[in-house]
Amino acid sequence: MRSGLVSNGILQEDEGFSTSIPDVSVVVPIKDEVDSLPHLLEAIASILTASQLSYEIICVDDGSVDGSVKFLKEQGQIRGDLKAVILRRNYGQTAAMAAGFNYAIGRVIVTLDADLQNDPADIPMMLAKLDEGYDLVSGWREKRQDRALTRLLPSKIANWLIRQITGVKIHDYGCSLKAYSTDLVRDMNLYGELHRFLPVLAYIEGARIAEVKVQHHSRRFGSSKYGLSRTFRVLMDLLTVVFMKKFLTRPMHVFGFLGLTSTFCGAAIAIYLTYLKIYENQEIGNRPLLTLAVLLLVTGIQLFCFGLLAELLMRTYHESQSRPIYRVREVVAKHRQ
């Protein structure tokens, strides 16, 4: 880490006391957590200052109605280590995290929940793991302090399902305590409920991912904002992520394959029915197979057309943003004299 003076967590150079890029940006999405915020801010400040890390805390309020906004505005006027980002309304945790990422300027970004169930004391350990050459370090709440039926069981099922479908072997996708290299975050676009799938999105970007066991505490204030109603949204976003992981740059591979398969099956049935009509002199007009053949042929043509449209959309997506279809980790070359 760079040398200098730490004042309110913001690194200042020895000469001239000019502010510098902080080592760590801590992003905290907030929804009605006014009672836990004072404890959380002091815990983060204490841990990172003791670790001699320069830092900033970015609290993103996502439509709170309990006094969190007032508290953040007051603290934002007082504290030199706090950025209070107040969203116009409740957009959801994914949008709040995306806003935090956009305002973060640190070399490393750490995310955690505001309910004090994640422990800021684990941050230095996660940063040390990140320094081993990883791009993302995800927390694993092995001894999770939540209700078994409404939180633990659905979470275990969801984590198992995501691991099996995506192939990214993370035990605890729902743990908000994660550490990212800033370069990795800049390449990821978030929407829907995709914050849960950040390790998968990072994997798509070619990231090196590690998982470490972290502490988890019982909720001290307020009540959980999550429930079984999120299951359907998570499943829908899982399908989106799976498609992105496998076919983001080649959608024709999936639509074209399905289209050709459907067309082949429809054509085979049509040929069979034609044989029955011509050589066996059988009536085929009222046979269900005829309807199935027409349906498969039409469906196959539509799927093939969907594939072509998807290819055009992907080209527009990448070319309009000058977004490459690859990511370079590093370039090694000997400088010529």
Instruction: Check which CATH number belongs to the domain holding 104 and give it.
Output: 3.90.550.10
Pair (194, 314) in one structural domain: no
Distance CA 72, CA 31 (A): 12
The number of angstroms, rounded, from the C-alpha of 87 to the middle of its chain's C-alpha atoms is 19
Pair (166, 265) in one structural domain: no
Pair (36, 112) in one structural domain: yes
Domain end point (choices 221, 246, 271):
246
Residue type, 13: E
Q: Which residue has the tokens 């743990």?
A: 175
Distance CA 49, CA 44 (A): 8
Number of domains in the chain: 2
Pair (103, 207) in one structural domain: yes
Q: Which tokens belong to 141?
A: 């709440």
Total H helices, total E strands in the chain: 10, 9
Pair (237, 296) in one structural domain: no
CA distances from 28 to 69, 97, 101, 144 (A): 13, 7, 10, 20
CA distances from 41 to 26, 28, 58, 112, 120 (A): 10, 10, 10, 12, 9
pLDDT for 19 equals 54
Pair (170, 314) in one structural domain: no
Give the up-direction half-sphere exposure of residue 99: CA atoms within 13 A in the CB hemisphere: 22
Pair (226, 272) in one structural domain: no
Pair (231, 148) in one structural domain: yes
Within-domain flag for 230? yes
Within-domain flag for 6? no
- What residues contact 212, with CB distance under 8 A and at least 6 apart? 122, 125, 126, 129, 137, 138, 139, 140
Give the up-direction half-sphere exposure of residue 164: CA atoms within 13 A in the CB hemisphere: 6
Look up the pTM and report it.
0.72
pLDDT for 230 equals 62
pLDDT for 86 equals 92
56 phi/psi in degrees, rounded to 5: -140, 145
Q: Do residues 126 and 139 touch, judged by C-beta distance below 8 A?
A: yes
pLDDT for 317 equals 67
Within-domain flag for 2? no
Compute the C-alpha angle 235/241/243, nearest 5°: 110
Within-domain flag for 70? yes
- Residue stretches of the chain with pLDDT short of 70: 1-19, 146, 148-151, 192, 222-233, 246, 248-249, 317-337
Q: Measuring CA to CA, which residue among 58, 50, 109, 110 is closest to residue 85?
A: 58
pLDDT for 187 equals 77
Domain end point (choices 231, 246, 261):
246
pLDDT for 130 equals 95
Pair (137, 195) in one structural domain: yes
Q: What residue numbers bound the domain in which 302 lies? A: 252-320
Within-domain flag for 4? no
Within-domain flag for 142? yes
Ramachandran quadrant class, 7 (left: phi over 0; alpha: psi -120 to 50; beta: rest): beta
Pair (166, 59) in one structural domain: yes
pLDDT for 189 equals 76
Pair (176, 269) in one structural domain: no
Within-domain flag for 331? no
pLDDT for 9 equals 43
Within-domain flag for 337? no
Q: Which residue has the tokens 């400040």?
A: 45
Pair (181, 263) in one structural domain: no
